[in-house]
Amino acid sequence: MREPTLHEGLQALRADRASEPAAIRAVTRLASEFGTPLYVYDKATLTGQFRSFFAAFAPRFPKLRIHYALKANSNGALLSLLRAEGAAAEVVSLGEIRAALRAGFRGDEILFTSSSKGPEEIAKAVEIGAVVNVDSRDELEQVAIHAGATGRTARISFRINPGVDPHTLHQINTGITESKFGLHLEGGLARAGYARAKELPSIRIAGVHCHIGSQITEIEGYVTTARKMLFFVRELKDGLSIRLSFVDLGGGLGVPYHDGEEGLAPEALASALEPLWRKFTADAGYEPELWLEPGRFFVGPAGFLVTRVNSVKETPLKVFVNVNAGSNTLLRPAMYAAHHRARVVGRTGAPETLDIAGDVCETGDILAAERRLPRPEAGDFVVFLDAGAYGFSMASTYNARPLPAEVLVDGDTAALRLVRRQRLEEPGVEMGRLPRREPAPDVVLHGQLVGRQAELLDEKAHDPGVAVLREPGIEIDRRRARPQHLHRSDVRRVVHAPRAVDGRVVVVDDQAAVARGTVPSPRTAIIPRPRPLRPGPRTGESPLPPRPASAPSAPGATLRAANAPGSGNDGRAR
Q: Are 409 and 528 in contact (CB under 8 A)?
A: no
The pLDDT of residue 265 is 92
The rounded distance, in Å, linking the Cα atoms of 258 and 254 is 12
- pTM exceeding 0.85: no
Dihedral angle sign, alpha carbons of residues 413, 417, 423, 428: positive
Residues 299-327 have a mean pLDDT of: 97
The rounded distance, in Å, linking the Cα atoms of 372 and 369 is 9
Share of the chain above pLDDT 90, in %: 59
Domains of the chain: 6-34+303-387+389-399 (2.40.37.10), 43-297 (3.20.20.10), 420-574 (no CATH)
Residues 327-356 have a mean pLDDT of: 95
When comparing pLDDT for 494 and 49, which is higher? 49
**Strand 289-292 vs strand 303-314: parallel, antiparallel, or unpaired?**
unpaired
Share of the chain above pLDDT 70, in %: 69
Q: Measured in whole angstroms, how far is the alpha carbon of residue 304 from the centre of its chain?
A: 14
**HEC assignment per residue over 1-49:** CCCCCHHHHHHHHHCCCCCCHHHHHHHHHHHHHHCCCEEEEEHHHHHHH
**Residues marked as catalytic:** 361
Q: Picking from 16-25, 38-47, 530-539, which range would have the lowest pLDDT averaged per residue?
A: 530-539
* Nearest of 238, 228, 328, 268 to residue 56 by alpha carbon: 268
| Confidence tier at 334 by pLDDT (50, 70, 90) | very high
Q: What is the pLDDT of residues 194-246, one digit of tens each?
A: 999 999 999 999 999 998 777 777 888 888 999 999 999 999 999 999 999 99
Q: What is the pLDDT of residues 415-461, one digit of tens each?
A: 765 444 444 444 444 434 444 443 333 333 322 223 322 222 223 33
The rounded distance, in Å, linking the Cα atoms of 327 and 325 is 7
